[in-house]
């Protein structure tokens, strides 16, 4: 393609005076420098008649199902199981069930007790053994 003239067809009228515009960002300047080496013409074609337009911009609205998957480390599940054998953890869980944060710096996030933003293990021997 280098050396041969080609045509850029667009439904963005603002691209017509592309070479006469002031480039304000480095990305624009870099893109224009690359285009300057090429021989091209920009042709405007009204959006409705531009059948070769980007397929994504012309897709009809559809019902879309999005999902997010997340992995949970096994030791976090072990930590939660160990709360049942730890009286201090049970007390904190009861307290944090009413309010997800207390004045001592403990919080409850997705069933995990945290102290000042870090996972709190406490006297949870099951979790201690698993982590070590």
pLDDT given at position 115? 92
Residues 86, 40, single domain; the answer is no
In a domain, 59, yes or no: no
Average pLDDT of the segment spanning 108-126: 88
Q: Kindly report the number of other CB atoms within 10 A of residue 74's CB atom.
A: 9
pTM: 0.46
Q: Of the candidates 85, 82, 83, 113, which has an alpha carbon nearest to the alpha carbon of residue 97?
A: 113
Residue 104, both tokens: 């001592």
Has residue 8 got a pLDDT over 70? yes
- Is 127 found in the same domain as 78? yes
Q: Is residue 127 part of a domain?
A: yes
pLDDT of amino acid 113 = 92
| Residue 6, C-beta contacts closer than 8 angstroms, at least 6 positions apart | 38, 39, 40, 41
**Count of structural domains, the chain:** 2
pLDDT score for 108: 92
Q: How far apart are CA 111 and CA 126, in angstroms?
A: 17
The pLDDT tens digits for 31-84 are: 888 877 788 888 887 766 655 555 556 566 667 777 788 787 888 888 888 888
Tell me which of 34 and 114 has the higher pLDDT: 114
In this structure, the answer to whether residues 78 and 119 fall within a common structural domain is yes
* % of the chain with per-residue pLDDT over 90: 8
Residues 78 and 124 in one domain: yes
> Does residue 45 share a domain with residue 86?
no
How confident is the model at residue 48, as a pLDDT? Answer: 64
83 and 34 in one domain?
no
Q: Given this model, what pLDDT does residue 122 score?
A: 85
Burial of 107 (0-12, 13-18, 19+ CB in 10 A): middle
Give the long-range contacts of residues 48-57, CB within 8 A, separation 24 or more.
Answer: 50/9, 50/10, 50/11, 52/9, 53/11
Range of the domain at 85: 74-131
Q: Which residue has the higher pLDDT, 117 or 28?
A: 117
């Amino acid at each position: 393609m280098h050396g041969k003239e080609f045509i850029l067809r667009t439904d963005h009228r603002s691209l017509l005076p592309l070479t006469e515009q002031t480039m304000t960002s480095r990305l624009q300047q870099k893109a224009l420098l690359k285009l300057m080496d090429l021989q091209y013409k920009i042709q405007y074609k009204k959006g409705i008649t531009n059948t070769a337009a980007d397929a994504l911009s012309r897709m009809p609205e559809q019902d879309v199902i999005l999902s997010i998957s997340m992995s949970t480390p096994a030791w976090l599940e072990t930590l939660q199981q160990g709360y049942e054998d730890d009286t201090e953890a049970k007390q904190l869980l009861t307290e944090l069930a009413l309010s997800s944060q207390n004045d001592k710096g403990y919080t409850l996030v997705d069933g995990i007790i945290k102290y000042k933003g870090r996972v709190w293990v406490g006297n949870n021997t099951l979790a201690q053994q698993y982590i070590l």
